[in-house]
Structure 1
Amino acid sequence: MMLNFNFWKNKKVLITGCTGFSGSWLVIFLNFLQSKVIGYSLKPPSKPSLFNIMGLKNKIRLYNGDINNYNSLKKIINKEKPDVVFHLAANAIVLDCHRDPINTYKTNSFGVLNLLEILRSYKKKITVNIVTSDKCYVNSSKKLLFNEESPLGGDDVYSASKAVAEIMVKSYQKYFSSNIKITTIRSGNIIGGGDWGKYRLITDLVLSKFRKKKINIRNMNSIRPWQHIYDVIHGYLLISQFTSSSKQFHSWNVAPHDSRLSVKKIYYFFFKKKIEKKLLKKNIDIEKKTLTLDSKKIFRKLKWKPIYTYKIMMADIFKWYEVYYSKKDIKKYSYNSLNRYFDRLKK
């Protein structure tokens, strides 16, 4: 399946959580595709933030609101009448979720329920893409490469809250979906320029490299399906196109070429040396040391595969922050970078 520019042109697309890292890049992509973007979100979660740096407030219809505010969200949906929804609003920091389980379940699980219940009486046909997490699977040593049929679950609060959301979506799709087409998307660890989320590996490496901040590595041997934000959003868009005409409910894994990248390898790219022992910090034993995804389904059905190899991905990320911290024109670099990505797509 090819990215269909005509499909997206003038489409009214609602993004919840649009001020976050992934949401901001999704706004940029959809602006490039000439969609009419509506944003519903809290304020940007970090300072600095990609949303503010790129001036995205002036490129969309933005409503400040909490996904847990049912009446506020319903009012915006009924007013704007979107054709497509990308639900990204979430408590996404695993350690914060562990410290605040109640608000995590409210946002990550019942925030999804609010959206689904509002759309149950929606009079217009709509495509709804619920972005959950690669951590929604039961992660045991018996099975490390998860496909879409792997059992849902999770030991920690974040993982469990995402698994609950998945189960809710499947229930609504089966019984209440006369006018809505729903899909769930489980992407790997997303990285790219403009991410300053706390407890994030790239954020820590960037601040150490360009701001000489002290860095603490929690799990140097951790393995994750790290992938570039551009490839992930390309997957989101193809999935949404497919969902709009599909008669079946689908869940999708979106994973990189190499689903076994380690912290050590990414650290080495930034500093060209091995991690020193003094940088290692004892970690709260919440996150699993290994997580890998099987994305054969999205390749088989949609012909999606990552465009960026590890080296291209890391070079782009490093250059993005280098341009930003040297106070050069980061907007120009970002749009040029995206244009290069679209050129690769065409090839």
Structure 2
Amino acid sequence: MAATKPNTGFWAGKRVLVTGHTGFKGAWLSLWLHRLGAQVSGLSLAPKTDPNLFSLAHLDDTVAHQICDIRDAKSTAKIFAEFQPEVVFHLAAQALVRPSYDDPLETFAINVMGTAHVLDAIRRTHSVAACVVATTDKVYRNTEHGIAFEEQAPLGGHDPYSASKAASEMVVESYAKSFLAEHGVALASARAGNAIGGGDWSQERLIPDAIRAWSKGSCLDVRRPNAVRPWQHVLEPLFGYIKLAEVIWDNPNLAQPFNFGPNADDVFTVRNVVEQASTAFGKGDAEFAQFETGPHEAHLLSLDNTKAKKKLGVGPKWRTDEAISVTMNWYRRHFDGADARDLCMADIAAYEAAA
């Protein structure tokens, strides 16, 4: 039977550490875990955008957070020792493809060595029993043959971001086999990407770029209108992360890589997303490029979510068109004066109630 919502009894009182809690996905995850009754702590850099969901949702009143760079191994280990978490979600990352071309060394330092620092801190913190490392749908060696990637597919990466995340998967596997399994820590990786949802103001992401343009009455320039991505509402992969942590707590043999993405028949191009987003937002013009510009980015990417369905009971609840509608409704209501935290909580409640 498919899981419908997180196990509140499991999370009540659990000490949970989220790295990257000031980011888009980390803020949503921290809010959800707090709603479930967890004692949430956070380790992250300061928010990178203004506005940002962390500040708008007043997460500094909810999360016991520390500003820390995971490239600093000693500071990272110190925070783990202070918080003594039982469950860790590692989301802190340089999470964008195009900026990885601008500063590849920073991307590799954060995504590879940063992950190693977090896992080494876990190795030295005996309270931790389960950890989920969020990587990306872009960890696979993408030959763009139109095949949805299964978890056993070869890893790779053309751009520095994808390569750094594929390398971080190898770090996860090494730490699991060399150290953490024998210490009783269940360590799994979660592969998902192209998450949309309210409260994202990141640069170089489609929906935030659209919101910035359309809220000012400007036209959105779309670089690759025909590119296909596994679009999903941010609550879809976060639900996967939460259920994965629940499962591996009692069944460490399932501490494996898992894909979280839309079903095979739910395929949207960038153009499809922009057109539906404009309709849902109530306004918004777009200029679609005739020719690709900029550094290399994969044109076709899709994930096979069969394993998560069978072993975790986790599958998509909202199709892409519904995810777009929910997302644009969040922004529209926020611009009308609604509180960001209330909007997030309403979306979480609606998601939990969805069949």
| TM-score computed with the length of structure 1 as normaliser | 0.94
Q: Distance in 2 between matches of 1:330 and 1:88?
A: 21
Does residue 153 (structure 1) correspond to residue 156 (structure 2)? The answer is yes
Residue type of the partner of 1:104?
T
Pairing 1:328–2:335 present: no
Q: State the match for 2:324 in structure 1.
A: 314
SS of corresponding position for 2:220 = coil
Q: State the match for 2:124 in structure 1.
A: 121
Pair 1:331–1:171, CA change in 2 (3 A):
closer
Residues 140-163 of structure 1: per-residue CA shift (max 9 Å, x gap): 034631010000111110010001
1:280 shift after superposition? 5.7
Deviation per CA, 1:7-28: give whole Å up to 9, x if none.
1111010001000000000011
Selected match of 1:64 from 55, 62, 67: 67
Indicate whether 1:36 and 2:39 are aligned: yes
Deviation >4 Å, runs of 4+: 272-282
Hey, what does 2:213 align to over in structure 1?
A: 208
Q: CA, structure 1 residues 77+277, in 2 after alignment: closer, same or farther (shift >3 Å)? A: closer
| Counterparts of 1:64 and 1:276, CA distance in 2 | 38
| 1:215–1:279 contact (8 Å) kept in structure 2 | no
Contact persistence 2:132–2:187 (CA under 8 A):
yes
Supply the AA of the counterpart residue of 2:235: Y
Counterpart in the other structure of 2:349: 339
Q: Which of the residues 77, 82, 93 maps onto 1:79?
A: 82
- Rounded to whole Å, the distance in 2 between the matches of 1:122 and 1:271 is 48
Q: Does 1:196 align with 2:211?
A: no
Further displaced range: 251-260 or 326-335: 326-335
Q: 1:118 to 1:283 in 2, by over 3 A?
A: same
Letter in 2 for 1:41: S
Structure 1 partner of 2:112:
109
Give how far 1:276 is off. Answer: 5.9
Describe the SS at the equivalent of 2:189. strand
Rounded Cα–Cα distance in structure 2 between residues aligned with 1:33 and 1:307: 19
- The equivalent residue for 1:176 is 179
Query: 3-state DSSP class of the match of 2:222?
Result: coil
Shift in Å, 1:81: 0.5
Q: Secondary structure at 2:60's aligned position in 1?
A: helix
User: What CA RMSD, in Å, does the superposition of the two structures yield over aligned residues?
Assistant: 1.9
Secondary structure of the corresponding residue to residue 216 of structure 1 = strand
Which structure has more RCO (C-alpha within 8 Å, separation ≥ 6)? 2
In the alignment, the residues of structure 1 paired with residue 287 and residue 126 of structure 2 have an alpha-carbon distance, to the nearest angstrom, of 59
User: Which of 228, 239, 253 is 2:259 aligned to?
Assistant: 253
Unaligned runs of 5+ in 2: none
Larger mean Cα displacement after TM superposition, 204-213 or 246-255: 204-213
- SS of 2:13's partner is coil
Determine whether 1:264 maps to 2:267.
no
Shift of 1:200: 0.5
Give CA-to-partner distance per residue, 1:187-216, whole Å, 9 cap, x none. 131110001110100012212222223421
Tell me the number of residue pairs that the alignment of Structure 1 and Structure 2 aligns.
Answer: 345
1:73-132 per-residue CA deviation (whole Å, 9 max, x = no partner) reads 111111111000000000011111111111111100010111122222332342111101
Percentage of pairs with the same residue: 32
Does 1:297 find its partner at 2:311? no
